[in-house]
Amino acid sequence: MRIDRWLFFARIFKTRSKAVRAIEKGLIYLNGNQIKKQSQLIKIGDGVIVKRSNMIFQIRVAKFGMKRESYDLAKHMYEDTIEEILYSTNNSKDRDVLETDSSLRPDKKGRRALIKLKKASNFFKK
């Protein structure tokens, strides 16, 4: 199944076009590697890291769906492998740490979040 469709069906993104935009921006990683195309195929057991403006989370593909289901059914399509790495905050400094265009150095909290992300991405490499 294509990664953009699965992200939409699993309710990770509200629309498929938002999933495609996140892939184009380089915010989605599959098994530790950045996804270049929205047509990337995934299989059950693959690890996915999703970066958002206020959080980074890591999930594992558990099953596929044929359509976008309710949240109760969609949450069974993936397994959380670790807790959210960076919790949502109102502090704009933390958002800058996660943006790729930011030229500011991360603060202590941001450095810790980046270390956790690197450890999480090494977890998926085989």
125 pLDDT band (50/70/90 cuts)?
low
13-53 pLDDT tens trace: 999 999 999 999 999 999 889 998 988 899 999 999 998 87
Contact yes or no for 120/58 (Cβ under 8 A) = yes
The total domain count for the chain is 1
What CATH number has the domain bearing residue 30? 3.10.290.10
Which pLDDT tens digit goes with each residue over 63-116?
Answer: 898 888 888 888 888 887 765 555 544 444 444 444 544 557 888 988 898 888
Query: Average pLDDT for residues 113-123, to the nearest whole number?
Result: 77
Question: pTM above the 0.75 mark?
Answer: no
Q: How far apart are CA 57 and CA 81, in angstroms?
A: 9
Q: State which residues form the domain around 56.
A: 3-124
Q: Which amino acid is at 10?
A: A
Compute φ and ψ for 73, nearest 5 degrees.
-85, -35
Q: Which residues pair with 48 in a beta bridge?
A: 30, 59
